[in-house]
Structure 1
Amino acid sequence: MRRTSSISLTCLVLASATLGPALTAQSAAVTPDMVQTGSDIPAKWEEPHPGYDYEKREVMIPMRDGVKLHTVVIVPKGAKGLPILLERTPYNASGFSTDRPHMRDAVWSAQRDWADDGYIIVTQDIRGKYGSEGDYVMTRPPIGPLNPTKTDDTTDAWDTIDWLVKNIPESNGRVGMIGSSYDGWTVTMALLGPHPALKVAAPESPMIDGWMGDDWFHYGAFRQVNLDYFTEQSSQRAAGSQVPRPGSDDYQDFLDAVSAGHWAEANGFKQLPWWNRLSAHPAYDAFWQLQALDKLVVQKPASIPTVWLQGLWDQEDMYGAVHTWEALKAAGHASNNHLVMGPWYHSQVNRSAETLGPLKWKGDTAADFRRTILIPFFNTYLKDRKAAESLPAALIYNATENHWDKFADWPGVDEKHLTPMYLQSEFGLALNKPQAGEDSYLSDPAKPVPYLAPPVEADGGKRWQTWLVQDQRPVATRTDVLSYQTPVLDRAVSLEGAPFADLFVKTTGTDADFVVKIIDVYPPNDAEQPEMGGYQLPISLDIFRGRYRKSFPNPEAIPAGAVEEYRFRLPTVNYVFKPGHRIMVQIQSSLFPLYDRNPQTYVDNIFFAKPEDFRSATMTVEHNPQAASSVLLPIVSGK
């Protein structure tokens, strides 16, 4: 036995007995401030921000039907008489800013220049998304046949602006709207019935017509890589997820699924009202026509000074801005509408833009544009600060010569002044009409032409932003791709405007797609940029679904073995083919998995084509005096 342990234990027992009553008496002295009867979480926590140079306010703005929209307002401290920059978005208004001491660091990259210039920045969740109440409807149509309610994004923008100018005492009562892609669509919707305080607008790459050439289709061919967007956007109020993949190659994944409809419904899309509506309307019927905003802004033209803006290589919304500007100009509303096309991919105007894939520019073309052109344009109407130089009718980047070109009257689409460049025998391309000739290729739906070299990452992966400037040599030698080219150019050839494809083709099938690319073929060697030696750079390309050759709303089968004409517009260009280069035209019948496969057998709805509907077909492209296939180029003489 260890005696020391016994003594210690005895001492502890005696001490406890002696101190016990004293501890009990002290514990009994409870004061009111010791007792918390409610939650330890306050009803509203307001974090102090000493040293911050701005104030962030989160408010719920009521709409005319009682629905409240979550809105983030960022105001410079000490502000007085500042304009408001408003962006309405389905992409989480709270995520547009972070908690940092300086306003320019707190806002996202596209807003820093605006913060530097002294703007109140407001971002709002549209109806039904993230913090906003109400029901979400994908690109909610204007009030009318497709929208029987009394609200749309026109009324929501009006109500929002009305609240802002009445409840932000630091503002001067003037608002400018801006936003790209879906956010560009919300700007355009606001223009259909603008609030008096809306003084200037910039729809950037706006979603204008989802069937003709923006996100969902191009001339009837479905852009199936956007199916992930459906779940990300409409499977829940917050951000949804991409569709899980069985493998790492979308080329094989979509091929195994047979059709876009089967792929979608195998992944639960029948739960999504938007998918059900879209897949039920594969043709350009009233569902699409009644929400085409380029038509609606002409019916309700606004006097708001507006910049219609997009990238020359916009891989998502190549159609909307330029077609809307052209429609307004044709209707006599050119004075307050301007077109800007920069050397950018989709929404790159809001990021850094020193390069585009292999193409290199002189400095950051997007930042320079924002600071020297866009913000001064807004300041003219929001701050009474006249810009040093007026914005021309059209400002379009010349990618070859690496500078902006200003146009008092951009031709846009002018079919009377297009120059045919005809397909020739021996795969030549020339200005003279061809002699008798034709070329054929076998289009096999089991082996579609890829838009990116497989394996193709989900949603295009890192290559998605720059796929439109990818080298076309990997597909140029495929037997199902026809490549025609000029001799080496001995002089420059300048294009300004919209090219057209004009093909005369017969097929052994009863439906077909046609992809046409206009390509700048670089010389075999490039001393300044060796990696560009022999590069085949697409400058304009698009796809056309053959069943719509006569009517977009009323498709019909192609008569097998008959020569049919397929004439369609290609994306706008402002480009110079340099001496020593060649002009190439490529023709093919698939661009997969970006676009769904055409079964090449006519079926009512390609979304749900069956395996037995997919058949190989021989496409024969004619180039003879009676059927002279060509590309019609907006060649500018004297340049």
Structure 2
Amino acid sequence: MKKSSLLMACLLTTSLPAVAQPSGGISPDMPDHFTVSTQDFDFIRKEIMIPMRDGVKLHTVILVPKNAHNAPILLTRTPYNADHMTSQADSGTMASVLQGYDNMPDVIADGGYIRVVQDVRGKYGSEGHYIMNRPMRGPLNATEVDHSTDTWDTIEWLVHNVPESNGKVGILGVSYDGYTAITALFHPHPALKVSVPMNPMVDGWMGDDWFHNGAFREEMLSYIYNQEATPKNTVKWWSNQYDNYQLFLNGVSAGAIGKAHGMEQIGFFRQILAHPAYDSWWQSQVLDRLLPKEGLTVPTLLVHSLWDQEDNYGAIALYYALQKTPSAKSDLWLAMGPWNHGREIKDASMLGAIDLHSDTGLYFRKKILEPFLAHYLKDSTVPLPARVTTFRTGINEWETMPALPSQDCNSTCTTLHLAPQHGLTFDATTQKRETVQYVSDPEHPVPYVQRPVLSKNLPNSEWQWWLTTDQRNATSRPDVASFTSPVLTKAVSISGQPLVHLTAATTGTDGDFVVKLIDVYPDEVPAQREMGGYQLMISADILRGRYRNSFEHPEPIPANVPQVYHMKLPVAAHTFLPGHRIMVQIQSSWYPLYDRNPQTYVDNIFNAAPDSYKPATISIDTAESWVQVH
């Protein structure tokens, strides 16, 4: 061997690490442990198992901007995988990895915040047992821990172990993560300076994920299945039908469908089956009842989406409940926008098919959220947003107000009267009694979107935008009663919650009533031709008839005897423009968004037998039916 070659061989031998040779005589390509080189990253990532007071450790990801000093912390506590939420790009920039669920890189990364995301108990990397919307300590939770104590213990660890922070913490999140942002307000840690619950789950029976006024949200079965079957959502909902409408129709009842999927193994499903009414099990855990008793001591910005397909009840219910407390004037804010569930943290230039002509999500983040966070976490001289900021659709403008309109109607309310010949009028003196009838057949329920109804997780599913879908398909059905105003000659603006007073009889002994307030576009819209004749739901909800007198104590409907059904529709902020018409639609199924009502009274609809489902004739008294709007 030449001298130079010998020298090179010696250098290679001494500079390369020794690799153990397996018995087969070939070295592996893959190291036992690979270390990512992060020297060019603009942040430092840490994964910590933070101990709670009962010894359980919670998996926590901490992203610290390099060169951070005296930086505030933004915390999210989630059941949706902290690793996934902080690993969204093949990039070494913090803004890139924060592209996932519940992250707003233009607020968090650009603002220089330390980002902390934590798996809640029993989910993904955290120890302990998972319980859906774990109740606060009390009648339903006899342990020493809940989400509030876990948040307290987490913040206590962070302020003592993240030297780059200024000791100030904010908590925020969407949906379930909005729920945990609210629970942090119970006995809050002194370092918690601000909370931003966005589209939060607050009351799962009255109007958030699980029920609406007693009608069960059958489309949420798959969520419960995926979320509660395993810690890491490794078991996925399955179906032998492409069309959910057919799947649930074949399955008869929500209880039977769940049991066919093995859901009796899941604790939360068993609780739902056992508590179909608004009994003490539900009432003792809802946050809009509990937090006002606790008192609000941390500045809180509630964020509501006006077309939220999942949680369009919670933020508004909590706002009205907290408005009655002494601290509301100092610690409570509300922002509402033309968004579906969580759209405020994304591009929000469109509302389904509706062009809003600006990115309303960006406006919210830059003009409302950023200054709110900065004021309490960075610099108290930063001006705060208005107490209530809302986007008014129709005219597509932002507006501010000191508070939302009252939930009750007063002399300022406008009444839309149902009128003969399927009319709708503002003039009570022209109202005449007429009975409008339709037959509600449980074998042919009204679909909530055009069939096929695709599961929410499938490509091309309309789940995200079902509240904005064109209602003309429903209008054309004989089992939907539509009442339409003349063409408007001047704008009609509404705010707050529409109030329904419906007088109707049924030949059955139970039944559901869906009421929709709709903006009917002109036949021709030159600026967006595909919107010609579009029927856009502005506010809509359902009431299960057995609960017309009491949500806690159901009772049969007397057959063929008119009954009064009162309902508060979701909050609205909309202007019906000249040339448009206003429509009120009434129907008795909304399927399979909500489970079918047998229309024959049974003790528990989850256990209804196939022969319980019978057609019923619904008779609406126009002279005694109206919708009031602020």
Q: TM-score, normalised by structure 1?
A: 0.91
**Alignment-derived partner of residue 56 in structure 1:** 45
Distance 1:513 1:65 in 2: 46
Matches within 5 A, 1:210-221: 210-221=204-215
Sort the Cα spacing of 1:596 and 1:50 in 2 relative to 1 into closer, same or farther, 3 A: same
Cα drift, residue 564 of structure 1: 0.5
Name whichever of 543-552 and 351-360 sits farther off.
351-360
Is the aligned partner of 1:68 residue 2:61? no
Greater C-alpha Rg: 1
**Alignment-derived partner of residue 222 in structure 2:** 228
Cα drift, residue 125 of structure 1: 0.2
What SS does structure 2 have at the residue aligned with 1:415? Answer: coil
Cα drift, residue 34 of structure 1: 7.2
Deviations 1:392-436 (A, max 9, x none): 121111111112110113214132243221111111111233222
Is the aligned partner of 1:183 residue 2:180? no
Match of 1:437 among 417, 434, 437: 434
What SS does structure 2 have at the residue aligned with 1:69? Answer: strand
Distance 1:368 1:436 in 2: 48
Sort the Cα spacing of 1:559 and 1:477 in 2 relative to 1 into closer, same or farther, 3 A: same
Cα drift, residue 261 of structure 1: 0.6
**Alignment-derived partner of residue 267 in structure 1:** 261
Distance 2:386 2:380 in 1: 17
Match of 1:629 among 591, 604, 625: 625
Question: Root-mean-square deviation (CA), in Å?
Answer: 1.8
**Alignment-derived partner of residue 26 in structure 1:** none
Please tell me whether the aligned partners of residues 393 and 410 of structure 1 are also in contact (alpha carbons under 8 angstroms): no
Deviations 1:187-246 (A, max 9, x none): 001111210000011000000000000000000000010000111101101024442111
Match of 1:249 among 243, 252, 256: 243
Is the aligned partner of 1:204 residue 2:198? yes
Give the letter for the 1:425 counterpart: P
Cα drift, residue 385 of structure 1: 4.8
Please tell me whether the aligned partners of residues 371 and 384 of structure 2 are also in contact (alpha carbons under 8 angstroms): no
**Alignment-derived partner of residue 519 in structure 1:** 518
Is the aligned partner of 1:453 residue 2:450? yes
Give the letter for the 1:568 counterpart: M
What SS does structure 2 have at the residue aligned with 1:458? Answer: coil
Give the letter for the 1:629 counterpart: S
Q: Which runs of 5+ in 1 are unaligned?
A: 1-31, 635-639
Deviations 1:569-612 (A, max 9, x none): 00101111111111100000000011000000000110110011
Match of 2:252 among 230, 247, 258: 258
Matches within 5 A, 1:101-116: 101-108=92-99, 110-113=103-106, 114-116=108-110
Distance 2:342 2:20 in 1: 55
Distance 1:377 1:583 in 2: 37
Distance 2:361 2:454 in 1: 27
What SS does structure 1 have at the residue aligned with 2:308? Answer: coil
Is the aligned partner of 1:85 residue 2:74? yes
Cα drift, residue 460 of structure 1: 7.2
Please tell me whether the aligned partners of residues 194 and 302 of structure 1 are also in contact (alpha carbons under 8 angstroms): no
Matches within 5 A, 1:216-615: 216-335=210-329, 336-387=331-382, 389-416=383-410, 417-433=412-428, 434-459=431-456, 461=458, 462-615=461-614
Deviations 1:275-329 (A, max 9, x none): 0011110000011101110111101112211111021100000000011011111
What SS does structure 2 have at the residue aligned with 1:467? Answer: helix
Deviations 1:45-88 (A, max 9, x none): 64331211110000000000000000000001111100000000
Distance 1:179 1:368 in 2: 18
Distance 2:194 2:36 in 1: 35
Please tell me whether the aligned partners of residues 296 and 328 of structure 2 are also in contact (alpha carbons under 8 angstroms): no
**Alignment-derived partner of residue 150 in structure 1:** 144
Name whichever of 356-365 and 408-417 sits farther off.
408-417
Distance 2:305 2:20 in 1: 63
Give the letter for the 1:557 counterpart: P
Give the letter for the 1:92 counterpart: N
Please tell me whether the aligned partners of residues 468 and 538 of structure 1 are also in contact (alpha carbons under 8 angstroms): yes
What SS does structure 2 have at the residue aligned with 1:261? Answer: helix
Deviations 1:98-137 (A, max 9, x none): 2521111122253311111100000000011000000000
**Alignment-derived partner of residue 122 in structure 2:** 128
Distance 2:111 2:267 in 1: 43
Deviations 1:520-575 (A, max 9, x none): 01111111111111111110000000000000000000011111000010010111
Distance 2:414 2:104 in 1: 43
Q: Percent identity?
A: 48
Sort the Cα spacing of 1:618 and 1:381 in 2 relative to 1 into closer, same or farther, 3 A: same
**Alignment-derived partner of residue 14 in structure 2:** none
**Alignment-derived partner of residue 24 in structure 1:** none
What SS does structure 2 have at the residue aligned with 1:263? Answer: helix
Distance 1:329 1:42 in 2: 59
Distance 1:170 1:43 in 2: 32
Cα drift, residue 514 of structure 1: 0.2
Please tell me whether the aligned partners of residues 548 and 555 of structure 1 are also in contact (alpha carbons under 8 angstroms): yes
Distance 2:314 2:451 in 1: 30
Distance 1:527 1:242 in 2: 45
What SS does structure 2 have at the residue aligned with 1:494? Answer: strand
Please tell me whether the aligned partners of residues 230 and 275 of structure 1 are also in contact (alpha carbons under 8 angstroms): yes
Deviations 1:122-175 (A, max 9, x none): 000001100000000000000111111110000000000010010000000000
Sort the Cα spacing of 1:412 and 1:352 in 2 relative to 1 into closer, same or farther, 3 A: farther
Is the aligned partner of 1:47 residue 2:47? no
Please tell me whether the aligned partners of residues 52 and 101 of structure 1 are also in contact (alpha carbons under 8 angstroms): yes
Distance 2:296 2:496 in 1: 25
Give the letter for the 1:435 counterpart: K
Give the letter for the 1:358 counterpart: A
Distance 1:431 1:485 in 2: 11
What SS does structure 2 have at the residue aligned with 1:484? Answer: strand
What SS does structure 2 have at the residue aligned with 1:187? Answer: helix
Please tell me whether the aligned partners of residues 295 and 325 of structure 2 are also in contact (alpha carbons under 8 angstroms): no
Please tell me whether the aligned partners of residues 185 and 208 of structure 1 are also in contact (alpha carbons under 8 angstroms): yes
What SS does structure 1 have at the residue aligned with 2:58? Answer: strand
**Alignment-derived partner of residue 17 in structure 1:** none
Cα drift, residue 330 of structure 1: 2.0
Give the letter for the 1:269 counterpart: M
**Count of residue correspondences:** 598
Cα drift, residue 95 of structure 1: 0.4
Sort the Cα spacing of 1:241 and 1:531 in 2 relative to 1 into closer, same or farther, 3 A: farther
Please tell me whether the aligned partners of residues 226 and 459 of structure 1 are also in contact (alpha carbons under 8 angstroms): no
Q: Which runs of 5+ in 2 are unaligned?
A: 1-16, 23-27
Distance 1:331 1:34 in 2: 69
Give the letter for the 2:170 counterpart: G
Distance 1:399 1:591 in 2: 25
Sort the Cα spacing of 1:249 and 1:383 in 2 relative to 1 into closer, same or farther, 3 A: same
Distance 1:65 1:294 in 2: 28
**Alignment-derived partner of residue 23 in structure 1:** none
Distance 2:60 2:345 in 1: 21
